[in-house]
Amino acid sequence: MLPDGHSLLRLQSVRVAYDGVEALKGISLHVNEGEIVALVGANGAGKSTTLNAISGILPLRAGEMEFLGQSLVGRRPDEIVALGITQVPEGRQVFSEMTVLDNLRMGAYLRLRRRDRAGVREDLERILAMFPLLDERRRQPAGTLSGGEQQMLAVGRALMARPRLLLLDEPTIGLAPQVAHQILETIARLREQGTTILLVEQNVLASLRVADRGYVLETGRVVLEGPSEELLRNRDVQRAYLGKDYEEV
Amino acid sequence: MSAIWNPALETMPRAELRQLQLERLQSTVNRVYRYVSYYRHLLDTAGLQPEDFQSFEDLRRLPLTTKQDLRNSYPYGMFAVPLREVVRLHSSIGTTGPPTVVGYTRNDLDHWTDLVARALTACGVGREDVVQISFGYGLFTAGFGFHYGAEAIGAAVIPVSSGNIERQVELMQDFRTTALIGTPSQGLHLARALDKLGVDPHSLSLRVGLFGAEPWGEKTRTEIEQRLLLTAYDTYGLSEIGGPGVSTECECRCGLHLAEDHFYVEVVDPQTGETLPEGAEGELVFTTLTKEAFPLLRYRTGDLASLDTSPCPCGRTFARMSRVSRRTDDLLVMQGVSIYPDEVEQALRAFPEVGKGFQLIARREEEADVLEVLVEVGVVPEMSLPALERLQENLREHLTRTLGLDLTVRLVEPHSLRSPDKREPRVIDQRSL
């Protein structure tokens, strides 16, 4: 259970700088258990930087970051994974020489070390059932999969760690629209199974359609937040990110 | 205990509420800095950047925004969205000074409706109720605000608006009104009308009343309850930050729950502007957290109250404010109309026959609140009695029109109110609340 009054994840006034440039200028956000929360915005707005700060890849210059009521500030990336946060980085990064099955097992690395063999086997079957295309190709090297299948594999591998919170960075980037649609459907299904997701997407319309709430980032700041349906109705969001011009909105 | 309209928000743990408020404060500051030149200038002058608002303490570094600031930017100077995104406009009424105007986007209207739905639900009004809205419809926010909130909870709404007291009584009889919404002075006015028309309040179906837009106290509450046979609740709102639904009593009637997910509330010392600790009485200052069209940072209301964040038996976690019975200035609020003495002074300048002194006397009579204006006659010239009577009538007409409120005028001796060695107060509020 969560400590009283705590969201699963909570960021307060987080600032991150690299190469001398402040990429996050005081971001506050929270994710409650069972929610899908979208971070949307243009390239360079600070979306991926936010995920990398949560994962411990980038250090904070200032601010607070709590997960399950414990501070994440100053923790190493592997400690953060052990706490229950798994990130699926942009560009999928599956091990192309290894089979689909071995890729999935890699995701449960920490659990295998803890000798949770039965649990891992159970999850493996559950995930293969969720992704029938991966099941068909379970013995194929991951490098032979299509882009969409590799993305599913990357998500499946992350789920093998049984994360309390899944961070998805641009899961549909570079995918054909139909494949992107499949990926987002998968994400919506994950929520039904109780997975909590912080989703970064350039495809604002699609991500807000699967998310419960969203934050709109611009140049390292949150300029709008709220339930997805409200953001979709905000004409600033429509104009800036849905590619509609004045006549249409 | 009756239902809670939006339990996920209204009962959220206060730690989560603080997080939500911080997120919304920061996104509001980011937007006003970009879109509202008034606030960009204010931050720049204070040497602040939007990212300097890392906590609520940082907000205190910003000067308060006043009614005059809103007037200076009339009509659209403080809007944070282009007009094409605005779907409703409301405006202050009944004053001779420059008016103020407030805009709403579609999302703003939906939030407002939700806030009023919460208030009605907190007072036990539900879908079974027949709700008679006796607030004025029009530019004034109360009529439309309660209207959409009452529709949202599924009640049957009678949009009768204010005025025509006999018709109000007739509707209460014919439509079997169960919930009455209006000003407390209207409540008393209705009670009086029942007496006059010989209508037994037991023959009516009234059960509950929500009253606001005027200061009123426990004495008035008891009288309304005994004469109309309903439970009377206090509600609070002001059009500058959105209209009714800002705070409301619940069935415990131990203070008014503030919609803290939409407003950040401070209590400040009206003289120094310093933030006061919880429990101390001071001026209410509001920062809007979700407004798209008309966001305000640290708007000072002139209303005096204190805050209480201790748990309420109703389960709502939102802080409660005490009932507002006093103001920081000598503004008179009557029948939802704000009357500033300065505006009366200005209106009197059109009459060369009158002196400098005047006095506003508010009384709560049986029917309703009444306003009497005492006006000094000028020293010269001597006037005949008919001329004085004509002057008195002209003053009454002029003031009624400019203030938007029925009133009486009484001429008094030169220098009886104001002279070099005498200065009577400009406002005397004799209403026993």
Q: pLDDT of B201-251, one tens digit each?
A: 999 999 999 999 888 999 999 999 999 999 999 999 999 999 999 999 999
Q: What is residue B364's three-state secondary structure?
A: strand
Closest partner residue to A230 (CB to CB) among B14, B19, B107 is B107
- Please choose, from the candidates A55, A56, A60, the residue with its C-alpha nearest in 3D space to the C-alpha of residue A24: A60
Q: What is the distance in angstroms between the Cα of B315 and the nearest Cα belonging to chain A? A: 15
Sole residue written with tokens 């009886």: B416
**Structure-token pair, residue B422:** 């005498």
A interface mutation test: which of B21, B23, B52, B84 has the most A CBs within 10 A?
A: B23
- B184-195 in b/e form (b: 16+ CB < 10 A) is bbbbbbbbbbbe
Contact A16, A61 (CB under 8 A): yes
Angle formed by the axes of helices A147-159 and A177-192, nearest 10°? 20
CATH of domain B1-328: 3.40.50.12780
Residue A212, chain B, CB below 8 Å: the answer is no
- The C-alpha of B21 sits at a distance from chain A's nearest C-alpha, in angstroms, of 10
Instruction: Please answer whether residues A214 and A234 qualify as being in contact, where contact means their C-beta atoms are separated by less than 8 angstroms.
Output: no
Q: Give B 49-88 residues with CB within 8 A of chain A.
A: 50-51, 53-55, 81, 84-85
- CA B428/CA A171 separation, integer angstroms: 68
Class of domain B337-429: alpha beta
The DSSP element (H or E) to which B31 belongs, if any, is: helix B14-35
* Coil, helix or strand at residue B81: coil
- Please name the residue of chain A whose CA is at the shortest distance from the CA of residue B34: A223
- Residues B23-31 have a mean pLDDT of 98
3-state SS assignment for residue A145: coil
Instruction: Give the CA dihedral B309, B221, B140, B406, nearest 10 degrees.
Output: -140
Please answer yes or no on whether A7 and B16 come within 8 Å at the CB atom: yes
Residue whose tokens read 């103001």: B327
Q: Is the bond into B75 cis (omega within 30 degrees of 0)?
A: yes
pLDDT computed for residue A1 by the predictor: 45
pLDDT tens-digit series, residues B129-149: 999 999 999 999 999 999 999
Q: Would an 8 Å CB–CB cutoff place A219 in contact with chain B?
A: no
User: pLDDT tens, B394-419?
Assistant: 999 999 988 888 899 999 988 888 87
* Domain ranges, ordered by start, for chain A: 9-94+155-241
Average pLDDT over residues B273-294: 96
Closest CA to B113 of B243, B216, B281: B243
pLDDT of residue B1: 62
Contact of B210 with B230, CB cutoff 8 Å: no
CA atoms within 13 A on the CB side of B242: 31
Average pLDDT along chain B: 92
Q: Which residues in A lie closer than 8 A to residue B15 (C-beta atoms)?
A: 4-6
According to CATH, the topology of domain A9-94+155-241 is Rossmann fold (3.40.50)
Task: Find residues 288-317 of chain B whose CB sits inside 8 Å of chain A.
Answer: 290, 292
Q: Looking at the partner chain, which of B15, B50, B292 has a beta carbon nearest the beta carbon of A221?
A: B50
Q: Judging by beta carbons within 10 Å of its beta carbon (0-12, 13-18, 19+), is residue B368 exposed, middle or buried?
A: buried
Q: Looking at CA atoms only, how far is residue A80 from chain B in angstroms?
A: 22
Chosen from A8, A10, A13 to mutate, greatest number of chain B CBs within 10 A:
A13
* CA-closest candidate to residue B416, choices B378, B360, B373: B378
pLDDT at A246: 46
Q: Could you report the predicted ipTM of this complex, rounded to two decimals?
A: 0.90
Show me where the domains of chain B are located: 1-328, 337-429
Long-range contacts of B56-59 (CB under 8 A, 24+ apart): B56/B21, B56/B22, B56/B25, B56/B264, B59/B25, B59/B264, B59/B266, B59/B287, B59/B297, B59/B298
Q: Chains A, B: CB contacts under 8 A, how many? A: 70
Taking phi first (over 0 means left), then psi (-120 to 50 degrees means alpha), and beta for anything else, what does residue B95 get? beta
Distance CA B299, CA B245 (A): 17
